[in-house]
Structure 1
Amino acid sequence: MDKDIRDVVIIGTGPAGYTSAIYTGRANLKPLVIEGPQPGGQLMITTDIENFPGFPEGIPGPELMGRMREQAARFGVEFQFGSITEVDVSRSPFSLMLDNGQEILARTLIIATGANAKWLGIESEEKYRGRGVSACATCDGFFFRNCRVFVVGGGDTAMEEALYLTKFASEVVLVHRREEFRASKIMSLRASKNEKITTMLNQVVDEILGDDMKVTGIRLKNVKTGELTEHACDGVFIAIGHEPNAKLFKGQLDMDDYGYILTKDHSTETSVKGVFACGDVQDFTYRQAVTAVGTGCMAAIEAERFLESIR
């Protein structure tokens, strides 16, 4: 039976998953990576990454992910395409069921399943994603120097995005569907004091407007009167939150109120020994490729040390 038990299984192939694969591969732990429905993660739909160290000219997201995968493969990492449908971490070895019915057993498990930005769900949003529509001001704000941009949302995330965008944009318009923002008082106060930020309340996005190349405007609908108004802009940032891909582990691992997997301080160790979480699935705060890489490294080293301790 032991020969069928993997020392390390990694779920997810974003920056965190690939980094943990590289490190565990170099440690000769022969990791198995379950690639999931979207190998490469969110960066596969990111056109240009200009803040990842080592690429002064920037690099397309798919190219960066391809390089990471190639580097992991160099160290003997095994990849398996498929989705996990069921997990049991209540006993060791941990059990994972693939969508093809295959069961995989693991002594350690590294969860790098990431998180997805919540979107409005309108067709024009998808059409202009990467061409003026974004869900990450830190990633894309630089491209909107001296531009007018709209931020959709009413929580702390929306305030943070709007405040960050004022470093580049000439005007930032906060759009919220309610009469008042639900953000914390301190964040709302900071936004209200910033001269570059204006607000439009009781409004929802009806359509994102553009030409064949990029966003040129936004059409809003007043939730009280139904009136439609069009506004010129260069970009639309959706800031209505993120959803961590952690539903498989609900009831098995400790999570916060938003569904992010909780890890111990200065560690990627979860509430179950031998199970580690890295990247956006446990990072509510930063959600950057470079921080995901860092926690992926941590998870790999901690998994290696855990394996040494049980042998």
Structure 2
Amino acid sequence: MAKIYGVIIIGSGPAGYTAAIYAARSNLSVLMLQGYAAGGQLMLTSEVENFPGFEAGILGPEIMEKFEGQARRFGAEMLPEDVTAVDFSKRPFTVTTDMGEYQARSIVIATGASAKWLGLPSEKLLQGRGVTACATCDGFFFKNRDVIVIGGGDTAMEEATFLTRYASHVTIVHRRDSFRASKIMQDRATKNPKISFMMDSEVIEVLGEDAVTGVRIRNTKTGEESKFDTQGVFLAIGHQPNTALFKGIIDLDEAGYIIPSEYTMTNIPGVFAAGDVTDHRYRQAITAAGDGCRAAIDLERWLAEQGEDVGVENWN
């Protein structure tokens, strides 16, 4: 008899680990398929200062180790395997990885979302050392510094406005001669004396060794290149939910985010979603963790409504 888990959790960020903690404490048998890049976006964050309970701050990878350790303490099994296919057409559900097949009576999708990057080698080298994609997470570390925000939509305007609370000056760098942002967001940024604009410009290199010292800019119309001094580079060109695996199976919105049909359940009964994979607004570790809690409680109650024992069980 193959083991049938109470729940398989796909993904290993704050949402997935919190779901694992709650589900395992409810006496469910839990398998988390972490993926080879376990830990989610916090693995790219140098320091986390806004997660409750860590008054002195904590490194992103360190807090994820604590999440994992707590989930393991309650008996959650974890495998660092990437999911390659899912079969949600019948229960028990089947999840396939590059190493094997696993089955469960319920599923939590917590695959998160990934920030869109420019794709520059220098950008990747300096991630967490002056290059970031979250002003809310990291703005505090740029007090009295000059920073740039790359983008032209509402997110760029919002991030730039937020950063003026800390930074000496914020320059919005946009590759076109007009913004996609709504008029109200543009007006808010334009009227802020701490924000300036660099239009028809794209960043082609991030400068610095151990920390960002500047960027190399290219004018998109003339091709002229120049150096611009800055201590921080904030990407605000959007996020991409990690949902390609579920396209055509789970209901997604136009941007690819999962649409919960009731609470945290998806359009497929028994399949739940939590964290940034459903969230294009907040994208915080604490909100993702809260979603993971909700999903675990929802699935436990759903299993009970089906008349199924929540404890460890084998099925034929």
Q: TM-score, normalised by structure 1?
A: 0.96
Q: Which residue of 2 aligns with 1:231?
A: 228
- In structure 2, stretches of 5+ residues that fail to align are 308-316
Q: Which residue of 2 aligns with 1:142?
A: 140
- The answer on 1:298 being equivalent to 2:297 is no
1:264 Cα deviation (Å)?
3.6
Quote the Cα distance in structure 2 between the aligned partners of 1:105 and 1:241: 34
Q: State the structure with bigger RCO (CA 8 A, min sep 6), 1 or 2.
A: 2
Q: Which residue of 1 aligns with 2:172?
A: 174
- In structure 1, stretches of 5+ residues that fail to align are none
1:1-311 aligned within 5 A? 4-100=3-99, 102-210=100-208, 212-264=209-261, 267-311=263-307
1:92 Cα deviation (Å)?
2.0
The amino acid of 1:307's aligned partner reads L
SS in 2 for 1:299: helix
What percent of counterpart residues are identical?
56
The amino acid of 2:220's aligned partner reads V
Query: How many residue pairs get matched?
Result: 307
- Residue deviations 1:203-245, cap 9 Å, x none? 01021112x3211111110011001111111101011111111
1:263 Cα deviation (Å)?
1.3
1:90 Cα deviation (Å)?
2.4
Quote the Cα distance in structure 2 between the aligned partners of 1:233 and 1:202: 18
Further displaced range: 177-186 or 299-308: 177-186
- Residue deviations 1:35-91, cap 9 Å, x none? 112111111121110101001100011111111111111111111121111112122
**CA RMSD across the alignment:** 1.1
Quote the Cα distance in structure 2 between the aligned partners of 1:96 and 1:161: 38
Quote the Cα distance in structure 2 between the aligned partners of 1:128 and 1:68: 26
- Residue deviations 1:82-136, cap 9 Å, x none? 1111112122222211112x22122110011111111001111012111111110
Quote the Cα distance in structure 2 between the aligned partners of 1:168 and 1:284: 24
